[in-house]
Copies of this chain bind each other. A is one copy, B any other.
Amino acid sequence: MSLSHALLGLLAVEPASGYALTKSFEESLGRWAWHAGHTSIYPELNRLAERGLVEVTAEGARGSRTYAVTAAGREELRSWLLRPPQQSGKVRNEEVLRMFLLSALDPGDARVVLAHIAENTAAGAAELREVRAAHAGGSFTGPEGFGQLAAEFGLRQYQAVHEWALWAIEQLDADPA
């Protein structure tokens, strides 16, 4: 299960509470890499703690618990990240699915959907350019690096999809069918 590794990874960068981790998923990780809600995060943190891969390092207001990775957790994360890229990860992305199914629509409908995609990706890219500017200059590894990696990845992704959508519209316009 990759949720455990996602959590180990976030905690390896920076200790956090389940609540904070949930926010991270909502804002960055979950948009690109792995979606998860608090109802899967909290039980998983408990399981990781039982396995000795994370530990509670502080308890704060409103019953909040700050978790950090243990040495064993860091080792598990490292070996997972360095493990040879195993065959065919299981991808699931509804947005991309919509794009792939566009050719099932008639050209008029397809054009509408593509225009939406082009618009949304342009907006997303603009947003991330600001995020990137805010993160610029920090060290590459550690919390700052995480933000930079994520922002740059997302930005390039948005740009690629944006250009793909424009290309597709062009094809449609040129297509005699």
Q: Distance (Å) between the CB of A67 and the closest chain B CB? A: 14
**Interface readout for A114-158 with B: 1 if CB under 8 Å, 0 if not?**
001000100000000000000000011111011011101100110
Which residues of chain B come closer than 8 Å to A72, judged between CB atoms?
Answer: none
| A59-115 with Cβ < 8 A to chain B | 77-78, 81-82, 85, 88-107, 109-110, 112-113
A110 to B77 CA separation, bound complex (whole angstroms)? 12
Whether A85 touches B116, Cβ cut-off 8 Å, given contacts A34-B93, A77-B101, A152-B167, is yes
Q: Count chain B CB atoms within 10 A of each CB in A10, A26, A104, A139 and give the residue with the most.
A: A104
B175 adjacent to A140 (CB under 8 Å): yes
Which residues of chain B come closer than 8 Å to A77, judged between CB atoms?
Answer: 101, 104
A105 to B112 CA separation, bound complex (whole angstroms)? 43
Whether A104 touches B163, Cβ cut-off 8 Å, given contacts A95-B89, A149-B168, is no
Identical subunits present: 2
A140 adjacent to B172 (CB under 8 Å): yes
Residue of B nearest to A162 (CB): B156
Which residues of chain B come closer than 8 Å to A152, judged between CB atoms?
Answer: 164, 167-168
Cross-chain pairs A/B with CB under 8 angstroms, 12 sampled: A13-B103, A32-B93, A32-B100, A34-B91, A78-B109, A93-B93, A99-B153, A103-B142, A104-B146, A105-B141, A140-B177, A153-B164
